[in-house]
Homo-oligomer: A and B are copies of this chain.
Amino acid sequence: MKRVLVTGAAGFVGRHAVAALAARGFEVHAVGRTAPPGLHAFHAADLLDPAQRRAAVQAARASHLLHLAWITTPGRYWQAPDNLDWSAASLDLVRRFREAGGGRAVVAGTCAEYDWAEIDRLPRAELESPTPRLRSEGDAAAIRIGQLFESSPCRPATLYGAAKDGLRRILAAYAATADLSLAWGRLFYLYGPGETPGRLVGDAARALLAGEHLATSEGRQRRDFLHVADAGAAFAALLDSGVQGPVNIGSGDAVPVRTILEAIGALTGRPELIDFGARPLGPTEPACIEADIRRLADEVGFFPRTSLEQGLAETVTGWRGALSSSASAP
């Protein structure tokens, strides 16, 4: 019997991970403050409270752990001191899970662990070229600029990235001493129904559907966006595999942010509301961030199912329904 304990199960990714884990035959337990649908068991606990955390881990007696919970408040999570609390709580969570008999764990990492400055060693004008360039033209093993491999150097520019990076380094060493099978799923950019405000796709869809002006950058930077249902399913597949170490969880295909916004403009019927170039691109924003997903595909055997076109259409439809039902509320 495979029994998994999921943290962050009620979150953006967690809800989809719970469904995918159940579909794979896991008995799904969750720990946290809010229970999502579809669980076999829920252990109510504040994960930042040591006694509650340990009691929940003991009660679950799970064989598998999927640890997604973290501070995710948009705008705040990049530099909030809460990142220290989550690193500390995660160290204890994984240790207690192992000592309660667990054998396989997957923890959520982030593309913000990588050295983004490394991406921008070439002039930005070249990097923003709409056609993917090669680092070394004519080289058979050429690498696209901005393509990030699990072996790429990690040098986070934010406290969020550093907290995840430091946690990963410690947990990897712990796993080696404690006979724990551990993988680290590095999330790239996500979108999909249920996004909290402060994220690109949801904010754009909501603004255009509400008839609001949308001030944005030129949008030439390319980003790797994955539908959140695919992210949840990828975590479930990774946990269900024996693959260890870092594994990128992305689409493998970075697209210009402009392309995404233009699609949302077309889907909402309000492309004229988008003012490209009205805001500068942040100075630390790299020209391209793209996951190399060969480990995910070849070793885990997972392939994203939702195309960007399909996913954006579904997301805009979701926001349209949410806005019209709130507008017609008494």
Chain A residues near B (Cβ < 8 Å): 50, 79, 81, 83-85, 87-89, 91-92, 94-95, 99, 156, 158-159, 161-163, 165-170, 172-174, 176-178
What residues of chain B lie closer than 8 Å to A161, measured between beta carbons? 173
Chain B residues with Cβ below 8 Å from A95 are 81, 84-85
Contact of A87 with B91 at beta-carbon distance under 8 Å, contacts A159-B173, A162-B173 already known: yes
Could you tell me the distance in whole angstroms from the C-beta of A276 to the nearest C-beta in chain B? 32
Which of chain B's residues have a CB closer than 8 A to the CB of A158?
173
Q: Report the Cα distance A14→B141, complex, angstroms.
A: 53
Q: Do the beta carbons of B156 and A163 come within 8 Å of each other? A: no
Which residues of chain B are near A168, meaning CB under 8 Å?
A: 166
Q: Which residues of B contact A169 (CB under 8 A)?
A: 162, 165-166, 169
Distance between A98 CB and nearest chain B CB, rounded to angstroms: 8
Q: How far is the CA of A294 from the CA of B156 in the complex (A)?
A: 27
Write the chain B residue with the least CB distance to A157. Answer: B173
- Residues in B whose Cβ lies below 8 Å from that of A84: 91-92, 94-95, 170, 174
The complex places the Cα of A85 from the Cα of B173 at a distance, in Å, of 14
Task: Tell me if A's interface is mostly helix, strand, loop or mixed.
Answer: helix
Enumerate chain B residues within 8 angstroms of A87, measured Cβ to Cβ.
Answer: 87-88, 91, 170
Q: Are A174 and B92 in touch, CB under 8 angstroms?
A: no
| Copies of this protein in the complex | 2
Cα A165 to Cα B174 in complex, Å, equals: 13
Residues of the B chain whose Cβ atoms lie less than 8 Å from the Cβ of A166: 165-170
Expressed in whole angstroms, the Cα–Cα distance for A161 and B89 within the complex equals 20
Q: Which residue of B lies closest to A167 (CB)?
A: B166
Q: How far is B50's CA from A170's CA once the two chains are assembled, in angstroms? A: 20
CB pair A177 B165 closer than 8 Å: no
Task: Please give, as numbers and ranges, the residues of chain B lying within 8 Å of A81 by CB-CB distance.
Answer: 95, 99, 174, 177-178
Complex Cα spacing A99 to B85, Å:
14
Smallest beta-carbon distance A269→chain B, Å? 42
Distance A156 CA – B166 CA, assembled complex (angstroms) = 12
Chain B residues with Cβ below 8 Å from A170 are: 83-84, 87, 159, 162-163, 165-167
- Expressed in whole angstroms, the minimum distance between the Cβ of A52 and any Cβ of chain B is 12
Question: Could you give 23 example pairs across A and B, Cβ below 8 Å?
Answer: A50-B50, A81-B174, A81-B178, A84-B91, A87-B87, A87-B91, A88-B88, A88-B89, A88-B92, A158-B173, A159-B173, A159-B176, A161-B173, A162-B170, A162-B172, A162-B173, A163-B173, A165-B166, A165-B169, A166-B169, A166-B170, A167-B170, A169-B169
**Which residues of B lie under 8 Å from residue A94 when comparing CB positions?**
84
Contact between A156 and B178, CB atoms less than 8 A apart: no
- Contact partners of A159 in chain B: CB under 8 A: 170, 173-174, 176-177
From residue A87, how far is it (CB to closest CB) to chain B in Å?
6
Complexed CA–CA distance, A170 and B159 (Å): 7
Complex: A160 Cα to B32 Cα, angstroms: 30
Q: A158 CA to B156 CA in the complex, in Å? A: 23
Query: Taking CB as reference atom, which chain B residue is nearest A94?
Result: B84
Are B162 and A79 closer than 8 Å at their CB atoms? no
Beyond A81-B178, A85-B91, A87-B87, list 9 extra A-B contacts (CB 8 Å).
A81-B99, A83-B170, A158-B173, A162-B172, A162-B174, A166-B167, A166-B168, A166-B169, A169-B169
